[in-house]
């Protein structure tokens, strides 16, 4: 859980956790996040050995499969002054759930807790650690609508990204049911596809009703899910990660 970490000292270096989804499907988010943080004066390290935090296997109950992946993650990010990740779900995996994997391994549990206390979702970092709202002015103007990704709940986050969007002055249309799940849920989208499709249908219909030309979110799982569904449904709407908008490379 976050405790709105305004007490966390501004780091000199940030170790960027790009996430497997960004590296595999949306490398522009990795690059945007890096250039965004560098432009704000941080020295950014991007460990090239990083792969994934282990969340997909963890959520599916395959904890034996998740463990080696999470262990690799802990090794790669060990010693980081501050870890920033453009994903609420990955931040939650590190801060909240890795502990469950290592319940019976005190050393790794401690490493997970320790690193977790220095790991932030991107907008969380910008809001509570970086604390300079003027970055909002970088957001290019286009009618936007915001989808609240579910995993922000686990981090205790709500309203931070919307505050940035509002501050930017860019037209932002309220999405009906913005905090309703888009139907991704990782393996859920493939294992319980009919219900996932029903949730997606509702989400896309709400998106269409806003008249926005672009949907903004903090999590690539949601964005990928909605984008692929919009394509199939023939809905002409763009999907952007907040990092892309903030780095100015978004349009």
Partner 1 sequence: MTSPIGKFREKSREAMASPVLTKALKNATDKFIAGRTGTLPKLGDPIRLKDEARAVKVRCIARLDKLVAQFAENYRKNGGQVHFASDAKEAREILHSIAKENQVKLVAKSKSMATEEIELNHFLEGKGIQVVETDLGEYIIQLAKEKPSHIITPAIHKTKEQVSSLFHEKLGSPETSDISEMTRTAKKVLRDVFLTADMGVTGANFAVAETGTLTLVTNEGNGRMVTSLPRVHVAVVGVEKIVETLSDVPPLLKVLPASATGQKITVYFSIISGPRRPGETDGPEQSHVILLDNGRIDMLGSDYRESLYCIRCGACLNVCPVYQAVGGHSYGGTYPGPIGAVVTPLLHDEDAKYPAALPQASSLCGACRDACPVKIDLPRMLVSLRKDGVKKGESAFWEGLAFKLWAWAASSPSRFHFAAKTVRFLLKVPGLKGMAKVLPPGSGWAMARELPEFPEKFGWE
| Contacts to partner 1 by CB under 8 A | 18, 20, 22-27, 30-31, 48-52, 54, 56-63, 65-66, 68-69, 71-72, 97, 100, 150-151, 153-154, 179-181, 183-202, 224-225, 227-229, 231-233
Residue 5 CB, nearest approach to partner 1 (Å): 19
* CB 91 to partner 1: min, Å: 14
Q: Assign 34 to helix, strand or coil.
A: helix
Closest distance to partner 1 from the beta carbon of 67 (Å): 8
Beta carbon nearer to partner 1, 120 or 227:
227
Residue closer to partner 1 (CB basis): 168 or 225: 225
Contacts of 91 (CB under 8 A, 6+ apart): 85, 119, 120, 121, 124, 151, 155
C-beta closer to partner 1: residue 40 or 187: 187
CB nearer to partner 1: pick between 35 and 51:
51
Minimum distance of partner 1 from residue 31's CB (angstroms): 8
* Cα(107)–Cα(128) distance, integer angstroms: 29
Q: What does the CA dihedral 153, 157, 160, 165 come to, rounded to 10 degrees?
A: -10
d(CA 154, CA 116): 13
DSSP string, 138-188: GSPPS-EEE---GGGGTTT--SHHHHHHHHHT--EEPPTTTTS--S-TTTH
Give least dist CB 135 to partner 1, A: 23
């Amino acid at each position: 859980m976050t405790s709105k970490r305004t007490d966390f000292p501004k780091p000199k270096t940030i170790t960027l956790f790009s996430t497997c989804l960004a590296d595999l499907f949306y490398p522009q988010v990795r690059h945007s996040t890096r250039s965004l943080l560098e432009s704000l004066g941080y020295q950014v390290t991007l460990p090239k050995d990083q792969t994934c935090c282990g969340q997909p296997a963890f959520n599916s109950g395959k904890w034996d499969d998740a463990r080696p992946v999470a262990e690799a993650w802990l090794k790669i990010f060990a010693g980081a002054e501050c870890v920033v990740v453009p994903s609420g779900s990955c931040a939650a995996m590190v801060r909240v759930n890795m502990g469950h994997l290592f319940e019976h391994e005190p050393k790794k549990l401690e490493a997970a807790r320790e690193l977790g206390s220095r790991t932030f979702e991107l907008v969380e970092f910008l809001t509570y650690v970086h604390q300079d709202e003027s970055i909002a002015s970088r957001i290019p103007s286009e009618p936007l609508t915001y989808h609240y990704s579910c995993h922000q709940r686990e981090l205790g986050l709500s309203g931070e990204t919307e505050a940035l969007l509002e501050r930017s002055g860019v037209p932002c249309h309220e999405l009906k049911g913005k905090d309703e799940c888009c139907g991704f849920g990782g393996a859920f989208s493939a294992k319980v596809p009919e219900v996932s499709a029903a949730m997606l249908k509702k989400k896309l219909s709400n998106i269409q009703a806003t008249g926005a030309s672009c949907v903004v979110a903090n999590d690539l799982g949601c964005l990928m899910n909605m984008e692929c569904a919009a394509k199939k449904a023939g809905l002409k709407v763009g999907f952007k990660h907040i990092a892309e908008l903030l780095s100015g490379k978004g349009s």
